Amino acid sequence: MAYAAEHDYVLLTLDLDFGAILAVTKGHKPSVVQVRPGAVHIRSLGKYVIETLRQLTPELESGALVVVGPERTRVRVLPL
């Protein structure tokens, strides 16, 4: 996470721990896009992630946790 924050990267993960780490540390960076299991079919994941990144670029540049769920996408501005 430190490397991603230092280089303004966005983390893409299926792991819930990254959101928990941001919450506990009150981190401002890096932005995290967390895909919940079953949210997107694996064949559509790349296209969906690119769409999400394009739509939420301002939020991700300033620091956000994006949770992609089966029924909706939630955006929370950092720190949590």
8 Å CB contact between 31 and 64: yes
Predicted structure pTM score: 0.87
pLDDT band at 75 (very low <50, low <70, confident <90, very high): very high
Strands 64-68 and 31-35: parallel
Please give the Cα distance from 22 to 72 (Å, whole number): 21
The per-residue pLDDT for range 8-19, each reduced to its tens digit, is: 999 999 898 999
Strands 73-77 and 10-13: unpaired
